[in-house]
Structure formats: structure tokens, C-alpha cells
Amino acid sequence: MDERLSKYNDKMKKAIENLKEDFATIRAGRANPHLLDKIRVDYYGQPSALQAVANISVPEARVIQIQPWESSMIKEIEKAIMASDIGITPSNDGKVVRLVFPELTEERRKEIVKDVKKKSEDAKVVIRNIRREANDSFKKMEKASEISEDERRTLEDECQKLTDSFIDDINRLTDLKSDEVLTV
């Protein structure tokens, strides 16, 4: 790949990675420990990742179990989960915190699929903006006589192929996540 294109390729890859991370935090009826990835817990005055203060496991298909390294952290963990937007009320037995995921209704599944499609549309906009940025830089290079008109056109064509490939990836990821959410 042309080194003039590689930095835009890397930016597009990052956009796809961000989308994958967003999709990992979307609830699909099954317990997924990645739902807790963005939750921060107050640990002796420091906001810390939940994974840094507790062991997270999935003992059953619809239960996440959080076992803090220190039992004094249970209240902080519950508070952080309640403040997050995952919409699950935690319960504890003094030793572990459990999140029990109810079965999703058909209506809720459709709302989640809408959210998945919105996130994928946002990712496509990011990819297209990167393409526009690349094309603008190629035009500036041509204006500064660093490259010829033919080279600019070739670079723009390559950039378009790259864009199409990443848009296809987004569509594929969106279809997979939508199917996962809609599967009862």
C-alpha cells in the first residue's frame, strides 16, 4: 500500500475498532462481561476500571457475577453500576454482586437494533470524513506540484476502494450484531 494512504488506512481501522468496542457494550439478551468495560469505580479516591478491583465472571447465560478483591468495595461497585446506563439493578449477598439480565422483549430488541444501526451509521460518517480528508490532502499535494494529476486520481481511486472495503466491514458487523440481538 502507498505510504501516503497508510495513515488514512490506520485511521479507518481505528474507527472500525471503536465500532467493535461500542457493539461489545450493547446488551443482546445474554450476559456479556464487556458491558462493564466502561464502568469506573471509586477506589480510594481514584476512578478505577471495574476489572481492576474485582473478578468478573458469567456463571450462567444471563448472570454476571462480580467478586471484589475487597468486600468493602461492594457498595462502591453497586453505586457505579446504578450510575451507569446498562439498566440492570445489582444485588449482593455480602460477598459478590450479581447482575441478572431479564429476557428482552421484542420491542426492546427492535430499539437495540435501531441503536446498533445508528452507531454503524456514525462509523460510516467517520470513514467518509477520513476519505474526504485524504482526498483534500492529495489535492494539496497536486497543487504544490508534489504529485501529478494522474497520481492524485490513482490515490483517490485507491482511497475510494479502501473506503468501500471498510463500509462493507461496518455493514457486516452491523448485520452480525443485529442478528445476535434479534435471536431469542
Which CATH number do you get for residue 113?
1.10.132.20
Same domain, 63 and 91: yes
Boundary of a domain, candidates 60, 76, 100: 100
Distance separating alpha carbons of residues 178 and 28, to the nearest angstrom: 9
Boundary of a domain, candidates 85, 100, 115: 100
Residue 143: pLDDT over 80: yes
pLDDT in tens, 69-92: 888 888 888 888 888 877 788 888
Same domain, 120 and 61: no
**C-alpha cell belonging to residue 152:** 492524485
Q: What is the mean pLDDT of residues 166-176?
A: 95
Entry field: residues in the chain: 184
Boundary of a domain, candidates 100, 118, 134: 100
Q: What is the mean pLDDT of residues 133-147?
A: 92
Overall domain count for the chain: 2
Whichever domain contains 85, its CATH number is: 3.30.1360.40
Local confidence band at 138 (pLDDT 50, 70, 90 cut-offs): very high
Residue 29: pLDDT over 70: no
Instruction: Provide the residue range defining the domain that includes 84.
Output: 33-100
Chain-wide mean pLDDT for the chain?
88
Residue 179: pLDDT over 70: yes
Same domain, 148 and 167: yes
Q: What is the pTM of this model?
A: 0.72
Q: Which CA distances in Å does 89 have to 75, 98, 100, 140?
A: 13, 9, 8, 54
